[in-house]
Structure formats: C-alpha cells, structure tokens
Structure 1
Amino acid sequence: MQKTIFITGASTGLGKSTAKLFQSKGWQVIATMRNPEKETELNQLENVIVLPLDVTNSEQIDSTIKSVLEKYSIDVVLNNAGYGLIGALESLENHQIERQITTNLFGVIRVSKAFVSHFREKKSGTFINITSTFGLMGFPTCSIYSATKFAVDGFSESLASELVQFGIQVKVVAPGGMKTDFAIRSMEVGQHKAYEKLTLEVSKGYSAEQIDNYTKAEEVAQIIYEASTDNKNQLRYVAGKDANALYAERLSLGAETQVQNIKSMFTF
C-alpha cells in the first residue's frame, strides 16, 4: 500500500530533495511551501501534490491540514520549514527574534498538533523534526537559532514519550552544514560594531570554500528516508561528518568541557 509523507518547507534545499527522494521511492508526497505558484519542478512529478503553507500562519496550518486529512491518510510528517537567524543577541531586533521563534519553533508545534489526533486514531505515524547541530550544542552568534532548535529537540523528546502509547514515533534529524544556498537564501544576519571581530571569525564557517566541504542535501534526505522506514525506536539521527564529529566530541568530553573549549576559541 502506498504511503504518504507531508513536508513543510519543500520549495528548496533539504525539503525539495526529500520530496524528490520519497517520490522516487513510490511514496505519495504532499509538498507544502509559502509560494507554490513559483514551483516549477515538484509539480511536474507524479504522485506529488504541491500546496500553499506558511508555518507562521496558524489559521492556514489548521485549514490546510484539515483539507489534506479529508483526502489522505498521512504516514509521515516532516517538519522541515525554518531558517537561520545569525548574529550577536545585541545586534538583533525584537521582530527578528519573534519571527525566528514563530517559524522555527511554533511552526513545528502547530503542525504537529494538527496531526496528532489523526495518528492517534490510526494508531501509527511518524513525526520527523529537523533541528541542527546547533540544536545539540551552542555556538556564538547562534543564540536565538539555537534556542529554537534546542526547543524543538526537547519538544520532540517529550512528545515521543507522550505518544508512544498510541504507536506514534517522534524522531529528530540534526544536520550539520549542508551544500545548499541556505547561507544565502535562508539566513538572516544581524550586525553590531562591538562584535565585528567575532562575526568575522564565525562567518568563516559560511564561506564558499567551507560550504563545499559540507554534506549534500540529498545525503541528509536519505537519512530522513531511513528514519521514516527503519522501524527503529531511535530518537536522534545526526546527519553529516561535521555534525557527527561535534556530537561525538560532546559525548566524549562532556558538555561542560566542550563549552569551555568553544569559549576559548573566541576569547579575543
């Protein structure tokens, strides 16, 4: 029997790569995005339905998902929509902080809530929530971004225990750097004169040369597919060499030692 995945943020990058991979595996794909009228690739594929969805719009979340569930039985929900807000806390405006939290955290919570009763009634289903390496460890200029991704990780861990009684799984995929245009397309940067040296040092990680060493979105999509189909009772899937190295370091050294090591890198 054909399975169906519902994806947020499917217009570009990881979301689009995941939609294409699942479609190639014979799944029905419901690919949602803010501006579906601009989509020229996914809407040409068989078994792919492209729908409008802005995860900052709670009313649209409820109406879109209600409409979807009237027509389809969903097996996997991929909460992928999000973007990066980078900059020292002092450099960020309140509206930037609020938008980041609304998109990266509230979007995940609201979409998940809209699907829970569907999964509970069918006694199966999987939520896969995209976090980040910076949802597992902190890093300078990422305080608000990390706040959202740490929160999604904690939300997912708690929800996994809450829903296991109904046969529902909740999983987290935490990618490191990816070879996409995320650093240009999906990143908002704050600037403050007092933090110029810090910002310059951190920005080296987003250089073209560094991005070229990162993991391909298609490889992370493959991990999402494995998480959806491996039937493992596993919560976290760390994706990418850089992410796995940093997470292994955290586990081996301990969080406190890793934090002190990172602080020493930025003591000017």
Structure 2
Amino acid sequence: MKLPCHEGGSVHVFREVLMATPDTILLVEDDRFFLTIEKQFLRSTPVTVLEARTAEEALASCKVQKPQLIYLSYDIPGTDGAELCRRIKTDPQMRGTAVVMVCDAKRQEQIEKSRSAGCDGVLTKPLDRHRFLDVARSFLAGIREVRRSCLIRVRFKAQGQPLTAKGLDISRGGVFLDTSVPLPAGEVLEMELQLSHFPEQGPWVSCHGIIAWLNQRDKMFKPTHPIGFGVKFTGMPAESAGPLVQFLKTVGRDRSGTGGN
C-alpha cells in the first residue's frame, strides 16, 4: 500500500509501509494524561488498542502481539523514543511495523532524531485529534469512525453565501449533507449543526469543515446516498464537541460507510 505524504502542520508521513490485518495499534506513552487523550481519539475506531509505558513493555508487545501501527512518545522510561524506534526498525521481525513518533513541538531535535531513527511519521504535542486519526488512516486502510444515521438541520456558509441543508449521516469526524448546491471538493465551509432529531428544536453548534467527496447526478460516489457531499470536520471547538458526542449517543448505528470522516 503506497501511503500519501503529509507535509505541513504538525504531521509528517514520509515512508511507504505495507500493512496487514487485523488492525492493532500500540500506544507507547508514560504520561497518563496523553495516553488517555490518545485512547479517547481511537475510542470510536474499529481497532484493537494496546498500551505500553516503557521500552521493554513496547518491545515485548511488538514481538508477541505484533501491532500494525505504533504511536511512540519520544519521552519514555529506559531510553528515548528515537532509540526504541531504531531498535524496532533494525529488527527483521519488527521493521515492517509503522512507527509514528510523538514529539514535543518545541524540541526540533526530537523530530530530527526521530527521522534519523527511521520512523514512518511524526506528530507533535499538543496532539490534534484530526491529524492523529489522519495518520492512522494513512497506515491502516479502512479505519473509520462509526457513522450514525440522523436527520438534522445544517446551516453553512460557502463562497460568502448562507445556505441550508439536511444532515443525514454524522460522526465525530464529519457529516453528509443532502443538498443540490453545486460546490467543489475541497471547499471550506463555516457550519452550524442543530443537534436534535428533526423536527425537534435543539441546540445549534458551530464548526468548520471541508468537502471531502461529492455525490453528483452524473457521478455517484455513494449510490446509496442522495445528491450532496461528505464534509470532514476540520475545526470543532470544545463547546461544540461536547454536545456532538452527547447527540451521537442518542442516534442509531448505521451501515458501514462514511459521511465526511
């Protein structure tokens, strides 16, 4: 599988990796706060999550449980993350495992040492949920958060124009909009979602998104969906994320597939 190259922001993926199934992710992190955040990011994804707090635990897990992807903190007891990465990448049995280093954004030397150690990607703290999951999707084909069927009101602004649509499928990563408004993939949207089951009147929350794919009359990306487009959330304030999580608990699980996420 040839991986896309991410350059920019705090994400850098720069190696081609072949992955196997089932999807298992190992989180190597000594700081309980960051470990909890990473586990929370992966909570709705269909993967097995393993934990390790030291280099020894991580190596044992790699040899026995054989994860496909490792998020490896640079600061771990026993050795630094770059050295552990080097040991994994020089071991014939483990070198096919994708290793994404998690470094301090203010410590450029950590990023440079991680790259020299042969890691497959770099993330920097503070962690961004969308970038964290984008990296996982790059290495583990098919990772996707559970999409839930819904019917909500959506107001959005594109090219300076206020517009409305119906949201049909939603997750923490995106939403599908049922609309005939002709907008291109890549269009950035300012959005407001009414998080209630139509025709109920619930709270409105604000967020930003980008059109990830199109369902057009002459080219149906998702034949089971109406005309419209899938939107990937790119900016979800904390005051919006909380209500969205609560709303998702009230809607039913839909068939596998995707809205914008």
Range class of TM-score, shorter chain: 0.3 to 0.5
Q: Which has the higher relative contact order, 1 or 2, with Cα contacts under 8 A spaced 6 or more apart?
A: 1
Q: Considering fraction of residues, name the structure with more strand.
A: 2
TM-score, normalization by structure 2: 0.38
TM-score using structure 1 length: 0.37
Larger radius of gyration: 2
More helix as a share of residues: 1
